[in-house]
Every structure is written in structure tokens, then in C-alpha cells.
Amino acid sequence: MTSLPTHNPRLAMMLMICATAFIAATTLFAKAIGTGALGEPLHPLQITHGRFLFAALTFSCAAMIMRPSFGKVHIKLHLFRTSCGAAGVTLMFASVAFIPLSDATAISFLNPVFAMIFAIFLLGETIGPVRWSAAGIAMIGALILLRPGSGSIAPGALLALGAALMLGLEVVFIKKLTGQEAPFQILLINNLIGLLIASLAVLTVWQPPTLAQWGALFGVGTCMAVAQTCFLNSVARADASFVVPFSYGTLLFAALYDSFIFGVTPDAISFVGAGVIIAGAALLAWREARLSKA
């Protein structure tokens, strides 16, 4: 349990691709639950509750099997991190009921841009011209996906933008936690606190899920747990500059799932907006990797 993962770029690549497939699957299940494909649509807060419920059960079972040792718990950081994450996934689950999975996924790639901006104020980081340029490029892509020239801005796109904002803030707290606690400890505590918060929030909107919806909620939670595990193991086995580009495979899987399951095909605006966002996010990831090596 204490040995560090060995450097293995090929395995890291495979793990990251697996992570992207499972991340996209969570939004697919959320869309099925939120659009009424499996019964009366459930509120996004109830989908978030299912996500934390089954992810917490997954990590708790893993903890009982592996029996890892735990260190000091920084509860305030966990509370801030989990609150932001819960708000982010709830907004994300709400957005996919209105817009294609590919659009929502592309907008979610703005979260490192928001994380960079929050880091200025919360972590005291200094941002150079390259990172500001990357942020500007990504924001232009988001504006394209908001479709302001179509007469009205898509509400689903605004929800996805809000999700990216909250998930970006979560990244800042994750940065603080990773320097003080072990990854598995962070994941387990995050999901247990998230379950507590989501259980309180869902009380006002709870409705009995159908059997199919229970299955989809199980899919949301377990897919997220597997995705988090694959992601952490990927970045532990290779340089960030190598594995991060593969994370954009989430967009490909989201588009494929949406096309096969819901018959939704991304239009030209979706392709252009997603491409611009990925270009900005990739530039930012490259710059972050260079700074880490320096």
C-alpha cells in the first residue's frame, strides 16, 4: 500500500482512456434519468444523491478490503471541496437534459481555466501571458457553444458553464488536499461527505425511482468511482503533459453515446466550439506541465 506506482506511460494512457469512457458514461446515465427515458424525470439533486450514494458504497467496500492507513483529516478543506464538487455535478447533470452531451462535456473543459483564475486569489499564484492566452481561447469556445446569435442563449449551456465554474473552484481545494493527504483517503472522505450533503439536499425533491432509474443511478455512482480511480492511477504513472491530452477523449465518448443512445448528432457549431475549447485547455495543460518541470 505504501509503494509508489512505477512509471508506465502505456498503462497510463490506457487508464486515462478508460477514465474518459466512464466519465462520459456518468453523464449518459444522468441524461437518461433527467429526460424521462426511464420513467418520470428525477430532479438533478436526486441524481447527484445517487452519484454519491453508490460511489461512497464502492469506496467503502474497497476500504474494507484494502484496509488502508489514514492520516490527519483536514475537514474544512474537504467540506469546501465536496460542496463545490456536489454543486458542479448537479449543474452538469441538469445541463445534459437540455443540450447534447458533447456540448456539456466541452464546456466542462473550462474548469481548469476557472481553476487558474481562482488560484490567483486563493493560492497566490502568478499567471503569465501564455496561460492568460489559453484561458482566452477556451472562453471564446464557450461563447460559441452558448450560441448568442441564435436569438437566446441555451439555458443548458449556462448550466454547464456554472458546472465548470464550480468544478474549477473544486480543483483549487483538491490542490491543497493532495499535498496533505493520500489520494484514497481524499476520495473516500469526499464521497462520504458528499453523500451527507446530497442526502440533506434531496429531501425536498425526492421521488421514488423506477427500477430502471435505480439501475442508472447505480451506474452514475459506480462509473464515477471507477473513473476517479483510473484517473488518479493514470497521472501517477506518467507525466501530466503526456496523459492530459487523452482526457479530451471524454468528448468523443460523450458524442458517441449521445448518437447511439439518443440519436443526437453534434452540429457544426458544436464541433467548432469544442475544438476551440480543447485548443485552449490543451495549451493551458501544456504550460502547467512545463511549469511543474521547472
What would the grid cell of residue 290 be?
512545463
The number of folded domains in the chain is 1
Residue 45 and residue 205 in contact, taking contact as beta carbons nearer than 8 Å: yes
* Residue partners of 121: CB distance under 8 A and separation at least 6: none
Q: What is the DSSP letter of 181?
A: S
Per-residue pLDDT of the chain (294 residues; tens, 9 = 90+): 445 567 788 888 899 899 999 999 999 999 999 998 899 999 999 999 999 999 999 999 999 998 888 889 999 999 999 999 999 999 999 999 998 898 999 898 888 889 888 888 888 878 888 888 988 998 898 888 887 655 556 788 899 999 999 999 998 888 888 778 888 898 999 999 999 999 999 999 999 999 999 999 999 999 999 998 888 788 778 776 677 778 888 888 999 999 999 888 888 888 898 889 888 888 887 777 776 666
**Which among 143, 168, 136, 167 has a CA at the least distance from the CA of 157?**
143
> In angstroms, rounded to a whole number, what is the distance separating the alpha carbons of residues 174 and 108?
17
Query: How many Å apart are CA 183 and CA 195, to the nearest integer?
Result: 18
| 261 is a domain residue | yes
| 262-269, long-range: CB < 8 A, 24+ apart | 262/31, 262/37, 264/100, 264/101, 266/100, 266/102, 266/103, 269/144, 269/145, 269/147
Q: Does 2 fall in a domain?
A: no
- Continuous segment of H or E residues that includes residue 105: helix 101-108
Residue-level pLDDT at 3: 52
The whole domain housing 144 covers: 9-293
Helix (H), strand (E), coil (C) string for 116-158:
HHHHHHHCCCCCCHHHHHHHHHHHHHHHHHHCHHHCCCCHHHH
> Comparing C-alpha atoms, which of 107, 110, 127 is closest to residue 119?
127
pTM given for the model: 0.85
Establish if 86 belongs to a structural domain: yes
Per-residue model confidence as pLDDT tens digits over 202-214: 999 999 999 999 9
Q: Is residue 1 part of a domain?
A: no
Q: What is the pLDDT of residue 155?
A: 82
Q: Transcribe 240-267 into DSSP letters.
A: HHHHGGGGGHHHHHHHHHIIIII-----
Contact 249, 17 (CB under 8 A): yes
Inside any domain, residue 4 = no
- pLDDT tens, 21-53? 999 999 999 999 999 889 999 999 999 999 999
Has residue 3 been placed in a domain?
no
* CB neighbour list of residue 4: distance below 8 Å, 6 or more residues apart: 236
Predicted confidence at residue 1, as pLDDT, reads 40
Type of residue numbered 259 = S
- What does DSSP assign to residue 236? T
